[in-house]
Amino acid sequence: MKVKRDQEFLDKVEELSGQSVNACIRCGTCSAGCPFVKDMDVLPERIFKKIVLGDKEGILEKNTMWICAACFTCSVRCPRDIDIAKIMEAVRQIVLREDIDMVDLDHIENLEELPQLAVVGCFRKETA
């Protein structure tokens, strides 16, 4: 399937993150060390490929940036000094700026029993 290239999306990711996505050499170190890959639709390194291709739609349908816990493991290990966590945050910001909330309160069980810090952190990360 031919991907519709969205240069504006690529430029926005780089502007918000302050990182050069094209510097990635696809070594896979970020994916290899990420503690949350088992819950991700696609590996962090694959997200880079999609960003370079300007495949905005292909990225937004994945859960990778929402599962990312911004733990910075990948950022400190990247041989090209790319701060991947900042790129994940940039992609999240692009979605949230479109006024799309990623938290569905109706499907959170035992909300009142969850740690307050976790709830606040979730809202800061995933709501517009």
Contact set with ligand SF4 (CB under 6 A): 24-30, 34, 36, 44-45, 48, 68-74, 78-80, 82, 84-85, 88
Nearer to ligand SF4, 9 or 29 (CB): 29
CA dist 114 and 111 (Å) reads: 5
Q: Cβ of residue 1: shortest distance to ligand SF4, in angstroms?
A: 24
Which tokens hold the place of 64? 């990778």
Report, in Å, the least distance between residue 75 CB and ligand SF4. Answer: 6
- In this complex, which beta carbon is closest to ligand SF4, that of residue 4 or of residue 22? 22
Half-sphere exposure in the Cβ direction for 61 (13 Å, CA): 4
For ligand SF4, the closer of residues 10 and 85 by Cβ is: 85
Residue 13 or 30: which CB sits closer to ligand SF4?
Answer: 30
Give the number of other Cβ atoms within 10 Å of residue 34's Cβ: 23
Please name the residue ranges forming H helices in 1-128: 7-17, 29-33, 44-52, 56-60, 64-67, 73-77, 84-96, 116-126
